[in-house]
Each structure stands twice: as structure tokens, then as C-alpha cells.
């Protein structure tokens, strides 16, 4: 677990050095807003012009991150309409997945605007808002993600439901949000 946290901190230090805005998502954000649980990967949204990707890749490699060759050509993966770079970092006998989402969509731009500093494993880092975490988890839609949504609702109490409903509609996940809201009420 420590190597996951160390990798997150190394990633954030590098992003800070390069003056790249970021917001921690995924399991580490769940720890900030919900019930802490183990996480074995890192998800971060970043604001970065694609012309700066080669610079980022060079610096990442200096810190033992592996950048797949396909990204060197300028290709970027897509998950749920969000541009994504899938990296890996090897520490001793462990392999850690690191997903960097490029904040190029209206939704991820809003996520970045709403981020705020929070304690993430003993360090203050920029983290997505609880509302945005709920939306991101509903987009992913795996059973663990839906459990995380319930935990965030439980720990945070009232969230900005208007914001949630507006973005759920735009993202095509209104039914998923309604189900989560109904389950919260039970």
C-alpha cells in the first residue's frame, strides 16, 4: 500500500514541478470523501496541452513511470468520453497502474474548477469534489464504485443535488444517480 501512496506523491510532485494543475480521483478521493478503503491504482485528472505531453512523458520516465509507446505517437485512449493516458510504475516486484485523464471535456474542466485541497495520506493534495467523485464513480459503474457512491453519500450528508442532476443528465447517467439517491434515502 505504501508504494501506491509513494507513487501518488511522486506523481503530484512532478506535476507541481511542471506547473500542471491536477485533481486526485478514484480510491484516494474516496478516502478523502467517503469510507477509506484500500486502493491499488492511481487516477488523476490533469490540465495539459497535448503539445506538452512529450515533456511530461520524459519527466515521468525519469521517475520510473512506464509510458506505452502508443502514446508517443500522440494517440490518447478514451474512457466514457474522457481522454486517458494509461501508465505503469514498477516498484520492486509490484506493478502499479496510473491513469491520467486529460481535462479537455466540459465535465472534466468543471471537475478541475471545483477541486479543492484535502488531506490525502498525510499530505495536502488537490482532490475532486464529493459531487464530482459521485459522478465519476457512477460513470465507471462497477459494483465497487457504486459502493463508494453510497459511502460518499453516507459520510458527506447533503450534496449539491442540482449540480449532480444537471451533470448526470449531460453524462447520460441520470437513472444511475436516481437509483443511488433512492438507496441513500432507504
Q: Tens digit of pLDDT for each residue in 146-183?
A: 999 999 999 998 899 999 999 999 999 999 999 999 98
Average pLDDT, whole number, for the chain? Answer: 91
Residue 27 has pLDDT above 80, yes or no: yes
Residue 93 has pLDDT above 50, yes or no: yes
How many structural domains comprise the chain? 1
CATH, residue 114: 3.30.460.40
Residue 185 has pLDDT above 60, yes or no: yes
Helix axes 130-140, 174-185, angle to 10 degrees: 120
> What pLDDT sits at residue 1?
47
Q: How confident is the model at residue 61 (pLDDT cuts 50, 70, 90)?
A: very high
Its domain, for residue 8, covers 2-185
Q: Is the pTM of this model over 0.85?
A: yes
Long-range contacts of 11-20 (CB under 8 A, 24+ apart): 11/42, 11/44, 11/65, 11/98, 12/44, 12/123, 12/125, 14/59, 14/60, 14/63, 15/44, 15/46, 17/59, 18/52, 18/55, 18/56, 18/59, 20/46, 20/47, 20/48, 20/52, 20/56
Tell me if 2 sits within 8 A of 78, measured CB to CB.
no
Write out pLDDT tens, residues 97-108: 999 999 999 999
Amino acid at each position: 500500500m505504501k508504494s501506491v501512496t509513494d507513487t501518488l506523491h511522486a506523481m503530484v510532485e512532478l506535476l507541481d514541478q511542471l506547473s500542471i494543475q491536477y485533481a486526485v480521483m478514484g480510491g484516494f478521493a474516496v478516502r478523502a470523501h467517503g469510507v477509506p478503503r484500500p486502493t491499488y491504482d492511481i487516477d488523476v485528472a490533469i490540465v495539459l496541452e497535448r503539445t506538452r505531453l512529450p515533456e511530461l512523458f520524459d519527466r515521468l520516465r525519469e521517475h520510473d513511470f512506464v509510458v506505452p509507446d502508443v502514446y508517443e505517437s500522440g494517440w490518447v485512449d478514451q474512457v466514457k468520453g474522457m481522454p486517458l493516458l494509461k501508465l505503469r510504475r514498477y516498484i520492486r516486484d509490484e506493478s502499479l497502474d496510473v491513469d491520467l485523464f486529460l481535462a479537455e471535456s466540459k465535465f472534466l474542466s468543471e471537475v478541475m474548477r471545483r477541486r479543492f485541497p484535502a488531506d490525502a495520506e498525510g499530505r495536502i493534495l488537490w482532490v475532486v469534489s464529493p459531487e464530482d467523485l459521485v459522478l465519476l464513480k457512477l460513470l465507471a459503474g462497477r459494483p465497487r464504485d457504486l459502493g463508494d457512491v453510497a459511502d460518499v453519500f453516507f459520510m458527506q450528508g447533503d450534496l449539491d443535488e442540482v449540480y449532480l442532476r444537471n451533470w448526470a443528465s449531460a453524462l447520460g447517467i441520470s437513472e444511475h444517480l436516481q437509483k443511488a439517491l433512492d438507496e441513500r434515502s432507504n
